Structure 1
Amino acid sequence: MEFRCVEECSQCCIEREYYPSKKFGKIGVLILPEEKERIEKLAKEKNLDIKILPRIGISNDRSSPPTKILAYQMMGIDKNGNTCPFLDTESGNKSPHNGFPCKIYKDRPLACKTYPLIESDPITLDEKCKFCKEHKTADENLNSEMESLIKIKEQMSTDSPFIWRFATEVGEIQDSSMFESGWILEE
């Protein structure tokens, strides 16, 4: 079955999740270091305020913070971390599937180009995607998504012994007592 966006859906551009747990807060869209400047420039051209935080860092010493950042994350514009800043929710325009359109669709981050594929072993479809929930499969037309995911995996490959995640301290108000902030060493 061929993957396609479900009518009137923009869920993947709106809802953010806690990952790997609530203490880390909600994650933003993964931005590779080589994409960061381009995404910031696009936001400036569109007169949008965006917030890009670190996401994953590495170090050779467990007692020092990351010496290199492997990935950043673009945070959502809502207080709870949801809604991509490039999602056009205000103009009344609609995408081909009648959802909200992306203001930078042709220039969107590599992570957006991989969706609905998610990195796991084996690579799977995101169960939160409405299409994937409905159809349980998509075995056609995901070649460009697979290529994008492979590029991300190559960029994230490291021999460094210590991997750090950045806790965003962003999420639902009722969860705020669980949030941590800053770099946390993965155990």
Structure 2
Amino acid sequence: MTLRKRFYPIQLKKYVEFKCIEECSQCCIEREYYPSKEFGKIGVLILPEEKEKIENISKLNKTQVKILPRIGVSAEKNSSPTKILAYQMMGIEKNGNTCPFLDTSSGNKSPHGGFPCKIYEDRPLACRAYPLIESKPITLDEKCKFCKEHGNADNNLNSEMEALLKIKESMDTDSPVIWRFATEIGEDEDQAILKSGWILEE
């Protein structure tokens, strides 16, 4: 098994310029279960080369962050991961929601009227790539309010595509065994089924 995939071009159905919906901060608040509920909610994907930078920024901002592994690889199935390809920054709420760098308390607003990001200029590549997600073909995230309303966007997403390409390049591996980290974080009603630690991807 490998994470090496063919990279598909984004398919455009109509020409609409992407922009955030007024007063929306949904992508910085809501976290989802992935790849299934047992794995718990995921955090913002952080590449290994971004981890120390984010930790240093959190100290400068006096903001606590919780960074867990996300994807690891190994040569053998009977060993734990020998290399971590990606980490994840968890949300600050018990259920995993809300980025620790989302400013929900100052009363300030972002240009589109939502809560502002405290580290916007230094935000991770995963945030820069959003709302593009790698699927077949690469598409806009259907959970994004803009994407729900318009269905697609034109090529003003060049910087997002560049960020997604950098993530893909960093995640390429020839290691045959892929592991995912279960966060054990989720809604109260799901606590009984949540797992924790490295799980072999079948």
Q: Which runs of 5+ in 2 are unaligned?
A: 1-15
Is 2:138 the counterpart of 1:156?
no
Aligned equivalent of 1:98: 113
Measure the CA separation in 1 of the matches of 2:174 and 2:191: 34
Between the aligned residues of both structures, percent identity stands at 77
Question: What amino acid sits opposite 2:72 in the alignment?
Answer: G
Is 2:38 the counterpart of 1:23?
yes
Measure the CA separation in 1 of the matches of 2:192 and 2:174: 34
SS in 1 for 2:167: helix
Measure the CA separation in 1 of the matches of 2:145 and 2:64: 29
Question: What amino acid sits opposite 2:104 in the alignment?
Answer: T
Aligned equivalent of 1:147: 162
Measure the CA separation in 2 of the matches of 1:87 and 1:138: 25
Question: What amino acid sits opposite 1:59 in the alignment?
Answer: S
Measure the CA separation in 2 of the matches of 1:12 and 1:140: 21
User: What is the aligned length?
Assistant: 187
TM-score computed with the length of structure 2 as normaliser: 0.92
The 5 Å alignment of 1:120-139 reads: 120-139=135-154
SS in 1 for 2:173: coil
Question: What amino acid sits opposite 1:42 in the alignment?
Answer: I
TM-score computed with the length of structure 1 as normaliser: 0.99
Is 2:198 the counterpart of 1:183?
yes
Is 2:93 the counterpart of 1:71?
no
Aligned equivalent of 1:167: 182
Match of 1:5 among 7, 12, 20: 20
Is 2:57 the counterpart of 1:42?
yes
Is 2:94 the counterpart of 1:118?
no
Is 2:86 the counterpart of 1:52?
no
State the shift of 1:54 in Å. 0.2
Question: What amino acid sits opposite 1:74 in the alignment?
Answer: M
Aligned equivalent of 1:33: 48
Cα deviation code 1:30-82 (max 9, x no counterpart): 00000000000000000011000000000001000000000000000000000
State the shift of 1:146 in Å. 0.3
SS in 1 for 2:154: coil
Question: What amino acid sits opposite 2:142 in the alignment?
Answer: E
State the shift of 1:140 in Å. 2.8
Question: What amino acid sits opposite 1:67 in the alignment?
Answer: T
Is 2:100 the counterpart of 1:85?
yes
Moved over 3 A (4+): none
Q: Which runs of 5+ in 1 are unaligned?
A: none
For the aligned residues, what is the CA RMSD? 0.4
SS in 2 for 1:53: strand
SS in 1 for 2:155: coil
Measure the CA separation in 2 of the matches of 1:61 and 1:186: 12
